[in-house]
A and B are shown apart, each in its own frame.
Chain A
């Protein structure tokens, strides 16, 4: 096994995933990540020299819809907000985020 995961990489991944983790958790993930990547490493044993790289697995192309409004599948405001923890005047409400764009 050649992978070498650093604590910073774990913290970076946690930040990208927006998941807060403690230092101890981060430390534990270093080993866990190594192990996971080790398993993935096994895939290298498969001979892929004759396999075309692919973007997708369905083999489909050009699946498109006409530009038509589909009222049937649209939610009412009440339906849209039904699962929200907090709402106000028809809006979803979240804690204030920085107003920078």
Chain B
């Protein structure tokens, strides 16, 4: 019997391989995934020197360099205080604990984009540890957040017929944070939500642009599968690199789940390796395996004295934190009675949220229904509010939901008139036919001509009168 291609189905986070030809019990696997996310901080100057930090807008390559970030002998790095404080603020925003005493370490490896042949990073004492990001599919714990320097940028080109690599050191020593999660992620969609939430929080703190296209934010996923019901971490881990969008992150993880499930079902062991992601083909591919296990020979950088904070300083940073999206959405619920399904998407972007805040606060002053307004904005039924167009949006909204004040007796008269013209309504109402209410609403409104009363008031009046009949 020829071997058939096994159908592979993904059910939520679980990979199920169905073997129909014979009656082997299929294994159901679950994803075990942790993410490593890098983001370049948007300080004015670089991490360890006063060079301009703006690699994506530099007019020419190698124009923002100095002896320090070119790794010249004798140059002395000095740490950027703001970059350190921002790292700690991010940690606090993610509920991390902070190491009051910390230091920088040298991580050694040879690569042409690394002029010193070591990268200044943090090894055993990162600034932040033990945090958490809440997702709709459960919490994802943060293992650590550390601060390091970015490398130069390599371009692989052909110059005068020779295959070469070109190096631009404008990015060399740009402050770079690395956020490492625990392997708590159970589905590809959760990975995506986690990464997006992180970006949202980073942008709220205004510490990084997280431009994925340019490489200002980079995603790496450590993935493996475990048979459902088993405990502990799988024996292998596949690291997927080169992911530059949230959608590709989700796709790359889904691809890996299927690939690994097939191998496991075939009884093969999965090698520990680094894979890249080819977005065009929607596939991951094996990258050259390292000949040796990484041996970075970390040691404390003697050029950089350790950093010590007091708890009072950390408390000060905590007090300085801006209101984060989840807190803002909850407050909108309390202050403006806006439902979470509108408040959450509308608080996603900090600058937009600030505009909406003004909008809702003015709407409330004008006694407009903020939840209805939030719904209209979310569903794009009115002009999208900007700082300049708040008035316009409010007027449009007010016009859409404008209600005229009507005299109670005038309204009651209208209802009575409709009832007189439609005597069967009362019978139907008594028989429990609630559809007559809609009919009554429409007819009463018509009776009132050009006046647009509050529908709620009309409904109440109809109900009240019908009950007296």
Contact = CB atoms under 8 A, between A and B. Distances in A.
Q: Do A and B come from one complex?
A: yes
Interface of A: 12, 15-16, 18, 55-58, 60-77, 80-81, 88-101
A92 B166 contact: yes
Given A16-B108, A96-B164, A64 B78 contact: yes
A40 B292 CA distance: 27
Contacts of A57: 302
A10 B111 CA distance: 21
A65 B241 contact: no
Nearest to A70: B50
Given A55-B103, A74-B64, A93 B159 contact: yes
Contact of A56 (B70, B163, B302): B302
Closest 5 CB pairs of A and B: A70-B50, A91-B166, A67-B82, A60-B305, A64-B81
B154 interface: yes
A70 B70 CA distance: 15
B62 interface: yes
Given A16-B297, A92-B62, A63 B78 contact: yes
Nearest to A81: B62
Nearest to B78: A65
Nearest to B101: A61
A97 B154 CA distance: 9
Contact of B169 (A64, A89, A92, A94): A92
B278 to A, nearest CB: 13
B61 A90 contact: yes
Given A55-B306, A97-B154, A91 B80 contact: no
Nearest to B307: A62
A96 B165 CA distance: 5
B306 A56 contact: yes
A65 B62 CA distance: 23
Interface stretch (B41-49, B179-187, B322-330, B400-408): B41-49
B33 to A, nearest CB: 20
A91 B61 contact: yes
22 contacts: A15-B292, A18-B110, A57-B302, A60-B305, A63-B305, A67-B82, A69-B50, A70-B51, A71-B52, A75-B67, A75-B70, A76-B63, A88-B159, A88-B164, A91-B61, A91-B168, A93-B165, A94-B167, A96-B162, A96-B164, A98-B288, A101-B242
